[in-house]
Amino acid sequence: MNRLFKNFTIILIMINLVSCTTVKMTGRKQFNVVPNSQIFPASFAQYNGFLKTHEISKDANQVQRIKRIGNRLIKAVKTYYKSKGWEKDLSGYQWEVNLVKSPQMNAFCMPGGKIVYYDGLLKVTTTDAEIAAVMGHEISHALANHGAERMSMAYGQQLGAILTLLATRKASPEDQKKWMAIYGYGSQLGVMLPYSRTHEAEADKMGQILMAIAGYNPDTAAEVWVKMSKMGGQQPPEFLSTHPSNEHRMQNLRKWAPEAKKIAKQFGVNFDK
């Protein structure tokens, strides 16, 4: 059994080395076996299906506002990536911004650049900068290929389950069940949830940079979570959550804001005036 677990570890390390890419804006290494050429068409099809079942807002002023903020952020993405010579990373993106009529407080950016903002969220994000903070965060998930990375990690988790079954095939049914439970619990707490929290923190940091380059004060990002923390119920312990705690999130955003302002200044945006 020990030899099989050792082989399992070696296989995972080899897969990780072969499939390791880098999130350009943060430098974090990520495990990703799903290329954009595969995920974008599926994402666009899902987005088109979403629009068929969700009503686009008829509030012309708010629609225009959301599109204006979204387009400023998209321009910031293109400007920043061009300055770094990363234009190829945006190949295949089909940017689009829509405001959906829904009481839900939600927003997302699908792989490939399809951005949706729910008008229910406008009850909390009342200023342009607050909207930009949320939208910049969601755009950053797409830029960092977090969706593809989560798919890749799920594939790895499935592979781990198969290998655990193989490693315990000679064990009693009771012991095999115990090892599968240990693997499932351990992989969820030790791998999947921490990765989800990493994604959220990474999108927070990237989103602050993008909103700053777009001309929105990055200090606002922390204030959005001050509002959010006052609205939600009791949170689960952070280690059991897919998101960082509100307090941890606010601390990070306040810490990162000066760096976002410094980067924005390189593009002629100055918040010290």
Mean pLDDT over residues 119-126, rounded? 93
The answer as to whether 184 is a domain residue is yes
Hey, which of 65-74, 146-155, 180-189 has the most confident mean pLDDT? 65-74
Q: Give the domain extent around 174.
A: 2-265
Q: Taking 60 as the threshold, does the pLDDT of residue 56 lie above it?
A: yes
Look up the pTM and report it. Answer: 0.76
pLDDT of residue 57: 96
Backbone angles phi, psi at 90, to 5 degrees: -95, 5
Hey, which residues does 22 pair with through a beta bridge? 29
- Chain centroid to CA 34: 16
- What pLDDT digit, counting tens, does each position of 243-253 carry? 556 788 889 99
pLDDT of residue 183: 38
Of 99-113, 197-211, 229-243, least confident by mean pLDDT is 229-243
Give how far Cα 97 sits from Cα of 32, 34, 82, 151, 208, Å: 26, 25, 21, 25, 19
Mean pLDDT over residues 201-215, rounded? 96
Q: How confident is the model at residue 240 (pLDDT cuts 50, 70, 90)?
A: very low
The answer as to whether 272 is a domain residue is no
CA dihedral 54, 55, 60, 61 (to 10 degrees): -50
pLDDT of residue 175: 55
The answer as to whether 137 is a domain residue is yes
Which one, of 263, 163, 159, 154, lies nearest residue 218 by Cα?
Answer: 263
**Catalytic entry in 138, 149, 200, 202:** 138
Q: Taking 90 as the threshold, does the pLDDT of residue 22 lie above it?
A: no
Q: How big is the CA angle at 48 (ends 136 and 46), to the nearest 5 degrees? A: 75
| 3-class DSSP state of 125 | coil
* Domains held by the chain: number: 1
The answer as to whether 207 is a domain residue is yes
Q: Which amino acid makes up residue 74? A: I
Tokens of 230: 């006052």
Q: Provide the mean pLDDT of the chain.
A: 80
pLDDT of residue 273: 59
- Catalytic residue list contains 138: yes
Q: What CATH number is associated with residue 99?
A: 3.40.390
Mean pLDDT over residues 100-107, rounded? 91
Give how far Cα 259 sits from Cα of 45, 81, 219, Å: 37, 17, 11
